[in-house]
A and B are shown apart, each in its own frame.
Chain A
Amino acid sequence: MVRYLIPLGLFLVLVVFLAIGLRRDPDTKLPSALLNKPAPAFSLPQLKDPTKTFSSDEMRGKVWLLNVWASWCVGCRDEHGWLLEYERSGVVPIYGLNYKDKNEDAVAWLEELGDPYVLSAVDLDGRVAIDYGVYGAPETYLIDQNGTIRFKQVGPLSPDVWSTKVLPLVQELNRQGTTK
């Protein structure tokens, strides 16, 4: 009798594993290879004034967010209202990296929905995004005073992630920055 129960038991174990596997949200998010590494330097024209450039070196000594966005990106639209709120809270300056977008579309998007960015840099061919390991907008990087990436969010930066991850980290970095 027992010998017939063994295959049945194994089968049930398999069913349980498959049930768990099928119910789980397929987590396609990757850990960033650049976490705690220097943020790649870039110098790109600014969206609203293409005659000026923005260089990541200008941000030395500051804690800042780099948000990769595009007007064609669906997740960015979800995220946009939240970004405006974060900007209003004045916790950390948000800089945009406009990723493979049409300039007029990007400007129209900011006029329509509001502009949470101090400024947006234009990455027309996506070359800087490759340096940052971007594989799906929106993506957000928290960069510290020394230019090190301290946190990366793939997908919209939800209020949950903001309050549990970004906010505490920004406060800690600011504290360390002032005591130094």
Chain B
Amino acid sequence: MTRTRLLSVLLLCLFAAVTANAQTDEAAIERRLAKLSHELRCLQCQNQTLADSPAGLAEDLRREIRVQMRAGKTDEEIVAFLTARYGDFILYKPRVTPATYLLWFGPFVILLLGLFVLFRYIRQRRDSITEQPLTDDDRRRAKELLAASRKETA
């Protein structure tokens, strides 16, 4: 009697542990899916991510990603699976390839170009300012003016 009771309690514990484990697994998959699908494009409505889109295809793709995650695929493997079928366009963050060099590095090239032009401009301005030292005549006039103003304020 006590033995069967003990056994059933043990079984119950085991069952609870397994379901709890499955639940945390599912929660982890949903978290991974949420993160990954924000980096993927919905191809039916191309300005939305896979996470935001209610389109039928987006739903199918999310389901497919879930299935693959449950099968133990890594994010990289899933992304490779999708790009093999839909191309790099499905990635919201474009890959660094020769075709996207301009996209990735263009702004920095323009920044460097701007800095170069600015530097040149500043140098040119500095060079165009010629030093004009005061002559003896100027000094005499300055002294006179100072003396005059002192007299006025006094």
Residues of A that sit less than 8 Å from B by CB: 28, 30-34, 100, 125-127, 129-136
Contacts and interface: CB of A to CB of B under 8 A. Distances in A.
A133 B46 CA distance: 15
Contact of B87 (A28, A33, A100, A136): A33
B89 interface: yes
A127 B102 CA distance: 36
Contacts of B83: 33
A141 B30 CA distance: 34
Contact of A132 (B43, B60, B85): B85
13 contacts: A30-B43, A30-B87, A30-B89, A33-B86, A33-B87, A34-B85, A127-B64, A130-B85, A131-B85, A133-B86, A135-B43, A135-B57, A136-B44
A148 B74 CA distance: 28
Main secondary structure of the interface of B (DSSP, over half): helix
Contacts, number: 39
A87 B134 CA distance: 97
Given A100-B56, A126-B57, A31 B64 contact: no
Contacts of B56: 100, 126
Interface string B40-73: 0001101000000000110011001000000000
Given A28-B46, A30-B43, A133 B85 contact: yes
A32 B90 CA distance: 12
Contacts of B61: 130
